[in-house]
Structures are given as structure tokens and as C-alpha cells.
């Protein structure tokens, strides 16, 4: 199956190799011994044109341009990797953030065919007006401004024909390429590139399912119900499938259009403040946030409310990760590297045997910011430096952290564009305080008590799951207990004596109770009208009782003498 699939992709392999050679990466192609997919003449001509490109462009510019030419899958992969400062150099990330696909719209008849096939109804029954051209065309889908038969104006997002098959094919090729690179380059193994491609595959599959985007929109509507600052478009579930998404069309001004905002008499500084509050609420209150709040995805409605568009990419922060992120910011502001190390352990599920080096690096990092007022702290810069420290110590933090990092960096950029005096920490500080419930001085007792209680609560919360795992191991016979003791023999001897006494006491109690029952039952044979078995039981009980009493008195005397000696 694997060989047949590769043979079906051989044409695409040739296209990809041609593009990389064109942009000056022929040496990599040669080192991987995969030039056989190209003819000698074609390879020679491409290398000649590559020499010209090599002279005019930087290395990372050529990477970005090659990905753009390779189409949707590689553009999306580049955008995905731009969220990972723990893996890629800063200069490459800067180029990948510029990635944009220049794609032609596909014909209206193809869009109508997809819509009718998905919804199983003819276009006239669905729309009173459906335009000839889309208002936006992207690598995965294009959007039309249409009118429903009930008069509602809607945005109709239609997936590009055959895009799912193209992406499946390119993902196969990406996995093949990664395997070749792993065998050839040590650095590829160290950055866990195969795992990153697996993560990307999960992300891109979700983006191809528009019913998930509908679910994201509906969740945002619930989260911000009755909030006067935000407007979340209504979605039409009956008209939405995996390949079609129909939402309310929202009129507004893009947040990047400063001239239009000024003409409409909107205050840019107030928009920056409100937008930041909304994103921080998504992160710290809901743990469910828009992962790409760039200017093109934010509209200002006519009534001043902010509307986020394109919910295909969202980030999820579990409550514990939100809490630990707050602890990191607390530790930076209050010079507490040990607390940051503990937060990192929880965020990464990594235990440090020797945390001193990490604590030193964190303390050095903290000192650069400790004397600054909170309002002057650059949050994206702090988080980027924090991420670089994480990388240098080879610590793996869940991908949600890097989506958060990208979201905050984008938010800072948008805020600064709207208001030159914008400072993110001024808006962030109240959320961190609210998250941690109390924010007293570092040396105050309540702060120490609070963090101790927080860690104790986390321990109690984990206890049922740890117990379940332990019982599962016991049941499967996988639990092994190793015990080593020194100098415990005297204690074990005394424990053995104590257990023997308890056993005799239980036997004594049983004899007394049993004999009493026999005596009252009147079971023959009898002596003086008393059942013989009951009399024997009482005598035996008396012997055992006197024996226990004598043993206890003797042990007490010996213990007293040993203390005096």
C-alpha cells in the first residue's frame, strides 16, 4: 500500500523538488538522494535559475517563497510552524508569518455544485441571490455574500474543490520527507519534526471540517452571551456541513483601516482596550480563545462592537495551565524563580533532578524586568524570552502555550497600531490578579499560604486519577513494590508479639461469648444443671486470660528495667 501510494504521488514529488531546487536548495535534494524524480535537463536548468535567486534573496526568504509556490498544504504548514519559537529560529519565524497564498477563485458553477451536493437542494430553494464572484478567496475556501430566501444576508464559505485530497497527498509526502531528513540530519531528530507533522495533520484536518468551526462559533456565542463589547455572528446549522459554512454577514470596518475608523469617529485607543479585554477574557476566563486575532479577522461594527471572524483555528487552555501561566507572571513580577520552576514542571509534566541551573537562568531573566513598573513590562517580549529559556533546557510544553504566545504577540501588535501608547500589561494585570484570587506582597503570609493551598488542591484533584491508575496496575499484575529496611528487626519482633496478643485476645473473647451461648442453651451433657461444653469453654478462657495478663505484666517489668539501665 505504501509503495502504491508513493507511485501515485510521483508527479507531485517532482513538482516539490523542482520548487526547492529553483529556490536554491539543490544541495539538500542531492544529500537526500532523491534527485531521481527529476530529469537531468530539468534539474540543470533549475539549478541555473536557483543561482540567480540565491544572489538576490536571503536563505529564509527563499524558504518562505518556496512554501508559497508549493500551495495550500505547505503554506498552512509554514503558518503552523511560525507558532513554534521553541523549534525554529526567530528570522525564519519572521518570514513564515508573512506567508500568504495568492490563489485564483474557482468558478461559481463549481461552488454551486458543491453547495447543492452537500445540502441536497437546488440553489434557488436556498438563496434568492447568489453572486457570480466571491468577496474573498483563500487557499482552502472562498466566501460569497449571498441572500437567503427569507431575506437574510449571509456569508457562505465553500471549501475549494479537491482540496482535501491535495492536502492528504501532501501530508503523505511531508511524512516521507521527514523520515528522510531524520536519517540524514541530527537536528531534525532533536526538534521532533515528525511529531510536529502529526500535530499539523490534526490541525489541518480540523480546519477542513467546517462543522467544527460552527461549533467554535456557537461556543463563543455562549461564552459572550449578553456581553455589550462583542458581536459573534449567528450560524445556520441547517445550512452547514463539513464543506459548507453559512453564517450571518456582518457589516463593519476592518480594524486595520485607520482612515475608515477615523471617518466613522471611532476612538482607536478605546478599540485597542476593548479588543484586548475580550481576548484576555477568552484566555483567562474561558480557556478557549481565537488563535489568530490578526487585523484582517477583526471588524468594528457600526454600533462600536467588536466582531471576530474566521474561527477555524482556536486555542484551548485547561484551568491548570491558565493557573500556572498566572504563576509564571507572578514569579517574574515578584522575583521568585523557584515558583516559576514549579510552574514549568506542572506545565511540561517534567521533573527536574537538578533545577539550580534553570533557577539561575530564570533569576537572570527576572532581573531584567524586576525594576520596571508593571505598566512598562512588554508581555510578548517576556513570554518570548521565557520560551527561549524553555527551549535551551529542552523542556516540552504543550502546544497550546505557543498558540497563546502567538495570540498575545498579535494582540500587542494590533493594539500598538491602534494606540502608540498601548501597554498590554496594564490590561493583563487585573486578569492575573483575579486568576490567582489574591496578589499580596511576596513576603506576606497570605501569599505563601495561598500558593500552598493551591498546590494542595491540585494534589487532591489528582488523587482519584492516581489511585485509579494504581488499581489498574494492581489488577493487571504490573505493580511492583520494592522495600529496603535497616535496623527494623527489633520493631518487627515487638510487632509480631503484639499481633499474637491481639489474636489471643480475639480467641478469648470468642470463647467467652460462645460459652455463654452454650450455657444458656442447656445443651447436654450437664454438670449441676450446667452444660459441660460451656464449663470447658469458660475454663479455657480463664487459662488464656491469666496467660495474657501474666505476659503483659512480665513485658512491662522488663521494659521498666531496661529503661533504668
Torsion of the alpha carbons at 237, 243, 247 and 253, rounded to the nearest 10: 160
- Which residues, listed in sequence order, are joined to residue 156 by a DSSP beta bridge? 144, 246
Grid cell in block for residue 450? 495561598
Are residues 306 and 230 in contact, defined by beta-carbon separation less than 8 angstroms? Answer: yes
Domains of the chain by residue range: 103-249, 263-435, 500-564
Cis, bond preceding 531 (omega within 30 deg of 0) = no
pLDDT tens digits, the chain, 565 residues: what are they? Answer: 344 444 457 778 888 888 888 888 877 777 766 655 555 444 444 555 555 556 678 888 888 989 988 988 999 898 888 877 767 787 888 888 888 766 789 999 999 999 999 999 999 999 999 999 999 888 889 999 999 999 999 999 999 999 999 999 999 999 988 888 888 777 777 677 888 888 889 889 988 999 999 999 999 999 998 899 999 999 999 999 999 999 999 999 988 888 898 899 999 999 999 998 998 899 888 889 988 787 778 999 989 999 998 888 888 888 777 777 777 776 766 677 777 887 877 777 666 667 788 888 888 877 776 666 655 666 667 777 777 777 777 777 766 777 777 787 788 888 888 888 887 777 877 777 776 654 344 334 344 444 554 554 555 555 565 566 667 767 777 666 665 555 556 666 666 667 666 776 777 677 677 777 666 766 777 776 777 776 777 777 777 777 766 776 666 665 555 555 5
Helix (H) or strand (E) holding 277: helix 268-281
Q: Which three cell numbers stand for residue 158?
A: 465553500
* Those residues with Cβ within 8 angstroms of residue 156's Cβ, 6 or more apart along the chain or in another chain: 115, 127, 130, 143, 144, 145, 146, 244, 245, 246
Task: Report d(CA 153, CA 147) in Å as an integer.
Answer: 5
> Is the whole-model pTM more than 0.85?
no
Q: What is the DSSP letter of 150?
A: T
Name the DSSP class of 32.
T
Catalytic residue among 176, 226, 238, 292: 292
Distance between CA 251 and CA 145 in Å, rounded? 11
Q: Is 292 marked active-site?
A: yes
Q: Report the C-alpha gap between 557 and 565 in whole angstroms.
A: 13
Closest among 163, 241, 175, 240 to 205, alpha carbons compared: 163
- What is the C-alpha to C-alpha distance for residues 244 and 249, in angstroms, rounded to an integer? 15
d(CA 347, CA 397): 6
Neighbouring-strand partners of residue 155: 145, 247
Beta-ladder partners of 530: 527
Amino acid at each position: 500500500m505504501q509503495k502504491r501510494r508513493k507511485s501515485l504521488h510521483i508527479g507531485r514529488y517532482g513538482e516539490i523538488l523542482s520548487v526547492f531546487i529553483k529556490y536554491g536548495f539543490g544541495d539538500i535534494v542531492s544529500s537526500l538522494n532523491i534527485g531521481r524524480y527529476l530529469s537531468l535537463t530539468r534539474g540543470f536548468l533549475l539549478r541555473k535559475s536557483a543561482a540567480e535567486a540565491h544572489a538576490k534573496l536571503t536563505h529564509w526568504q527563499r524558504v518562505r517563497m518556496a512554501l508559497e509556490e508549493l500551495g495550500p498544504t505547505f503554506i498552512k504548514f509554514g503558518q503552523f510552524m511560525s507558532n513554534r519559537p521553541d523549534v525554529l529560529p526567530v528570522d525564519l519565524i519572521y518570514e513564515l508569518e508573512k506567508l500568504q497564498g495568492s490563489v485564483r477563485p474557482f468558478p461559481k458553477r463549481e461552488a454551486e455544485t458543491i453547495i447543492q451536493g452537500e445540502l441536497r437542494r437546488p440553489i434557488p430553494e436556498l438563496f434568492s441571490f447568489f453572486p457570480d464572484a466571491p468577496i474573498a478567496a483563500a487557499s482552502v475556501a472562498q466566501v460569497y455574500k449571498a441572500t437567503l430566501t427569507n431575506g437574510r444576508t449571509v456569508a457562505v464559505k465553500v471549501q475549494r474543490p479537491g482540496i482535501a485530497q491535495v492536502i492528504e497527498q501532501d501530508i503523505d509526502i511531508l511524512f516521507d520527507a521527514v523520515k528522510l531528513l531524520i536519517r540524514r540530519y541530527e537536528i531534525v531528530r532533536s526538534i521532533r519534526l515528525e511529531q510536529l507533522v502529526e500535530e499539523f495533520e490534526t490541525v489541518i484536518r480540523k480546519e477542513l471540517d467546517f462543522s467544527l468551526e460552527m461549533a467554535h462559533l456557537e461556543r463563543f456565542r455562549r461564552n459572550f452571551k449578553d456581553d455589550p463589547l462583542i458581536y459573534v455572528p449567528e450560524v445556520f446549522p441547517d445550512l452547514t456541513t463539513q464543506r459548507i459554512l453559512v453564517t450571518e454577514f456582518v457589516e463593519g470596518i476592518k480594524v486595520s483601516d485607520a482612515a475608515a475608523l477615523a471617518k466613522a469617529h471611532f476612538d482607536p485607543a478605546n478599540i485597542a482596550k476593548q479588543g484586548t479585554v475580550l481576548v484576555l477574557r477568552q484566555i483567562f476566563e474561558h480557556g478557549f480563545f481565537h488563535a489568530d486575532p490578526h487585523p484582517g479577522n477583526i471588524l468594528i461594527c457600526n454600533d462600536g462592537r467588536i466582531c471576530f471572524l474566521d474561527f477555524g483555528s482556536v486555542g484551548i487552555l485547561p484551568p491548570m495551565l491558565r493557573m500556572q501561566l498566572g504563576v509564571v507572571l507572578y514569579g517574574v513580577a515578584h522575583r521568585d524563580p523557584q515558583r516559576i520552576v514549579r510552574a514549568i514542571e506542572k506545565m511540561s509534566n517534567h521533573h527536574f533532578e537538578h533545577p539550580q541551573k534553570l533557577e539561575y537562568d530564570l533569576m537572570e531573566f527576572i532581573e531584567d524586568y524586576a525594576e520596571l513598573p508593571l505598566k512598562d513590562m512588554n508581555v510578548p517580549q517576556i513570554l518570548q524570552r521565557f520560551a527561549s529559556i524553555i527551549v535551551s533546557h529542552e523542556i516540552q510544553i504543550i502546544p497550546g502555550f505557543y498558540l497563546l504566545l502567538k495570540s498575545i504577540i498579535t494582540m500587542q501588535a494590533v493594539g500598538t497600531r491602534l494606540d502608540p501608547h498601548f501597554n498590554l500589561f496594564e490590561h493583563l494585570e487585573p486578569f492575573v490578579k483575579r486568576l490567582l484570587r489574591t496578589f499580596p506582597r511576596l513576603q506576606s503570609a497570605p501569599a505563601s499560604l495561598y500558593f500552598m493551598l493551591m498546590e494542595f488542591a491540585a494534589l487532591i484533584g489528582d488523587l482519584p486519577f492516581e489511585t485509579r491508575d494504581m488499581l489498574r496496575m494492581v489488577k493487571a499484575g504490573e505493580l511492583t513494590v520494592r522495600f529496603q529496611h535497616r535496623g527494623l528487626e527489633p520493631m518487627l519482633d515487638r510487632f509480631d508479639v503484639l499481633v499474637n496478643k491481639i489474636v489471643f485476645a480475639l480467641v478469648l473473647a470468642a470463647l467467652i461469648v460462645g460459652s455463654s451461648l452454650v450455657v444458656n442453651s442447656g445443651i447436654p451433657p450437664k454438670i449441676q444443671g450446667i452444660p459441660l461444653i460451656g464449663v470447658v469453654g469458660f475454663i479455657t478462657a480463664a487459662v488464656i486470660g491469666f496467660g495474657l495478663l501474666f505476659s503483659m505484666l512480665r513485658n512491662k517489668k522488663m521494659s521498666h528495667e531496661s529503661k533504668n539501665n
